[in-house]
Structure 1
Amino acid sequence: MELKQRHLEQASQQGLLTPEQVSPLWNYLQSLPPDSASFRATHILFYLGGLIAIAAMSLFMTLSWNAFGGIGIFLIACGYGVAACLVADWLLWQQRQPIPAGLLAALAVTMVPLAIYGLQAKLGYWDASHTEYRDFHRYIDWRWLMMELGTLLFGTILLWRYRLPFMVMPLAVVLWYLSMDLTPFLFQNDDYSWHHRQQVSMVVGLLMLALAFYIDLRTRHTLDFAWWIYLFGLMAFWGGLSMQHSDSELNKFLYCLINLLLITVGGMIGRRVFAIFGGMGVAGYLGYLAWDLFQDSLIFPFILSLIGLGIIWLGLLWQRHEAKIQHQLQRHLPAAWRELLAQRR
């Protein structure tokens, strides 16, 4: 049931509250951030409509948009962004609907790089006959950095205003793009290779993960604002790590150990996304052993099957003693992290 002020007045009439307590209590309840509702069928429509609108104004824009000219694109993006913010205001503060409000606010964030692109095109920064906005989502180019940094700035301001977790998604995507576009910027006067790209991606990914850890701690008493940054931070770090090439068996084994470490970290902090990426890395290493190092070995399939069965057995043991294992792992964490995990549970 949705709580209304009249409910408090009725409680006052029944002697449960004094008349003087009604207004202060109502004002306090109004100041609280909206709770995230349980997932229902209507939420599918919310997310489907919101993601279609976001994709339409980002991924699916065509070269024909250049017909509007730079100033036209800028004004359209600003108009969309302002309208999305106004509707998000109404949905969040008047209708108490945080999910569609978060989607509209995220749409406003995705308008920022489009607006910057239009302004740059007006100033002659882009060659409109050869560059279209959707290339921003397809090609690596250091010239996108202005759009990415501007999106991070304005998106952070909007996130501070609305404080809705889904708004972090476009910011995390832009940070992921930044991890790729930084390489040609840093090495634009020199030759750079895929190795440089991988190294920059790993460093930016680690910085994103550190930011996610920090956000997780700071918001441990509120909503989950860190999930999207964990996801794209791992994509940047794990992607750069997994594309590394080395002929050293030791380096390949270290790669497997790093992925095992990701799985362990995921278990310690309660983030399954770490286990997913770590599991893919371990599976990739085992695949390498099967198809390359032990390609002609008759005994390796038997050994690998035993390893697989052993992992299943470990999973059963983990399930049976999960609470005890997590307690043993988490007791080494700082008190703030233990408090965070208790809040998440």
Structure 2
Amino acid sequence: MMLKREDLQAAADAGVLDPREIDGLLAFLLQRHQQAQSATPHFSGSHVLYYLGGMLAISAVTLFTTLAVEALGMGALLVLSVLYALAAVGAAVVLEKRGHGIPAGIFATLTIALVPLAVFALQHVLGFWADGPTAEHYRDYHTYIDWRWILMELSTLAVGVVLLWRFRYPFLTMPIAVTLWYMGMDIVPALLLQGGGGSVELFGGPAWQLRKVISLVYGLVMLLIAFFVDLRSRHDKDYAFWLYLFGLLTFWGALSMMGSGRLADKLVYLAVNFGLVFVGAVLGRRVFAEFGALGIIIVLGDLSRNLFKDSFAFVVVLTLLGFALIAAGVWWSKREAAISQRLRTLLPAQLRELLETRS
């Protein structure tokens, strides 16, 4: 809502506000508006520069760490990563005190991204990974699935929770969500490894089937955690977005790799994806609808190539179904407010407040 001086003057003329308070109230509201603008992401030139610079810095110490950096020695890498992290968290504190919320959150996020690098160097200094052929270089962290990454991931989650509690900026949940996603893949060899040595075949046999089931359950747990966070922060900033995104990536990816190719499995998969679209509509989360729509397209494309490849009726039915959905959307738009209000009275208070906030 836009508030002008004329509005306050009108309130003073009506006896609601003391005329001497107009200037002080305007200054106070202007300061609050500026603070909210600095802490709330929106598409402006300064914010684009903030995030672009932050992502480049985070990528430099995570995705693009080269062999030349490791050539300095693991001891030097450990010292550099710790100093870099301390400088980043110090910058976050200073920027937060000066009211620059978004860059403060980006520097705090950079600190979290440096944790696995520091732990990786420390483990090598202590000689823990002498038998790790797929954990020789830090860049392997983003390439290979290995149980040895678990300690790095647990350390990252611990530091991430502490910094999120301290700074309270939603962007900090991004490295936390990515780490949870990585852990969902690395936990399988950690569970299957016997005797602390050897290797596990992850892409064939019983281990592959178990890996898909674990990933499916793990993704579902991430989504439940995201929903809980969404409920708790329903009147605050959006802390659940990244958890929803990577939870869906884990759950939907595992679901898409399951099944035997039978028609019954495809129909179950189709139903689940329709369910994701519905959940996205209810929660006001577009990411659910995007994953669900992609799954629906995959199934319909497979059916058109195989089961109904010579059927003109399949095209006609899909076209009519599309028209029917559009008509249903028009019908729903006219009655949405009344139906939603009636249905929300049946929901718990926290969930009802969340839906009202999202809508």
Tell me if 1:156 matches 2:170: no
Distance 1:115 1:299, change over 3 A: same
54, 60, 66: which one pairs with 1:62? Answer: 66
Secondary structure of the corresponding residue to residue 126 of structure 1: coil
Give, in angstroms, the shift of residue 143 of structure 1.
1.0
Within a 5 Å distance, the mapping from 1:270-285 to structure 2 comes to 270-285=284-299
Taking the aligned partners of 2:356 and 2:261, their CA distance within structure 1 comes to 44
> For each residue in 1:254-285, what CA deviation from the matched residue of structure 2 results, as whole angstroms up to 9, or x when unmatched?
11111111111111111111111111111111
Distance 1:15 1:78, change over 3 A: same
> For each residue in 1:284-342, what CA deviation from the matched residue of structure 2 results, as whole angstroms up to 9, or x when unmatched?
11112111111222322222222233333334444444434544554443210111233
Q: Please, which moves more after superposition, 305-314 or 64-73?
A: 305-314
Taking the aligned partners of 1:215 and 1:45, their CA distance within structure 2 comes to 29
Within a 5 Å distance, the mapping from 1:254-269 to structure 2 comes to 254-269=268-283
Tell me if 1:290 matches 2:295: no
Taking the aligned partners of 1:281 and 1:327, their CA distance within structure 2 comes to 30
> For each residue in 1:71-107, what CA deviation from the matched residue of structure 2 results, as whole angstroms up to 9, or x when unmatched?
211111111111111111111122x111111111110
Give, in angstroms, the shift of residue 233 of structure 1.
0.3
Structure 2 length normalisation: TM-score?
Answer: 0.83
Aligned AA (1:155): G
Tell me if 1:245 matches 2:259: yes
33, 44, 48: which one pairs with 2:52? Answer: 48
Tell me if 1:136 matches 2:150: no
Tell me if 1:113 matches 2:116: yes
Secondary structure of the corresponding residue to residue 65 of structure 1: helix
Consecutive unaligned residues of structure 2, counting only runs of 5 or more, are 1-18, 195-199
- Name the counterpart of 2:325: 311
Within a 5 Å distance, the mapping from 1:54-133 to structure 2 comes to 54-94=58-98, 96-127=99-130, 131-133=136-138
RMSD: 2.9
Taking the aligned partners of 1:62 and 1:319, their CA distance within structure 2 comes to 54
Between the two proteins, the alignment pairs up a number of residues equal to 327
Aligned AA (2:324): G
CA contact (8 A) 2:156 2:179 kept: yes
Secondary structure of the corresponding residue to residue 59 of structure 1: coil
CA contact (8 A) 1:269 1:330 kept: no
Taking the aligned partners of 2:106 and 2:185, their CA distance within structure 1 comes to 26
> For each residue in 1:176-207, what CA deviation from the matched residue of structure 2 results, as whole angstroms up to 9, or x when unmatched?
00111111111123764322221111111111
CA contact (8 A) 1:117 1:133 kept: yes
Q: Please, which moves more after superposition, 309-318 or 209-218?
A: 309-318
Taking the aligned partners of 1:135 and 1:332, their CA distance within structure 2 comes to 50
CA contact (8 A) 1:269 1:341 kept: yes
Give, in angstroms, the shift of residue 53 of structure 1.
0.5
Q: Please, which moves more after superposition, 186-195 or 250-259?
A: 186-195
Tell me if 1:209 matches 2:223: yes
Taking the aligned partners of 1:129 and 1:298, their CA distance within structure 2 comes to 54
Structure 1 length normalisation: TM-score?
Answer: 0.86
Consecutive unaligned residues of structure 1, counting only runs of 5 or more, are 1-13, 20-24
- Name the counterpart of 2:12: none
Taking the aligned partners of 1:330 and 1:265, their CA distance within structure 2 comes to 14
Give, in angstroms, the shift of residue 117 of structure 1.
0.1
Aligned AA (1:342): E
CA contact (8 A) 1:70 1:119 kept: yes
Counting aligned pairs with the same residue, the percent is 44
